[in-house]
A = this chain, B = another copy of it.
Amino acid sequence: MKVTAEICVIPLGAGVSVSKYIAACGPILEAAGLKPQLHAYGTNVEGEWDAVFAAFKACHQAIHDLGAPRVHTAIKVGTRTDREQTNADKIAAVRDIGG
């Protein structure tokens, strides 16, 4: 099952600046072949369901390994059976209408 997804990780008990924890996730998502696209409120990825969520689990583990005792993550995930659609397709569909 192919998915597009967004992950936004929030370490708790790790101070007010959380960028070093977020930065640990990029290479994990990249190595998993998920075409990560960092933005200001998360990272968008795409791939097979199992690969995506295995990588998200690895992100949690990596953030804990860096010292954060608690991680709260928000995920959006979309699947469709009518046709394939990449993250780039989604942006293009809106841009084409002038949005």
Residues of A within 8 A of B (CB): 1, 4-6, 8, 10, 12-13, 15-20, 22-27, 37-42, 44, 49-50, 53, 57, 60-61, 64, 69-82, 87-88, 90-91, 93-99
Contacts and interface: CB of A to CB of B under 8 A. Distances in A.
Copies in the complex: 4
A28 to B, nearest CB: 10
Contacts of A40: 4, 6, 37, 44, 87-88, 90-91
B74 A38 contact: no
10 contacts: A1-B61, A4-B41, A17-B93, A27-B99, A39-B39, A39-B44, A41-B87, A70-B79, A72-B78, A73-B76
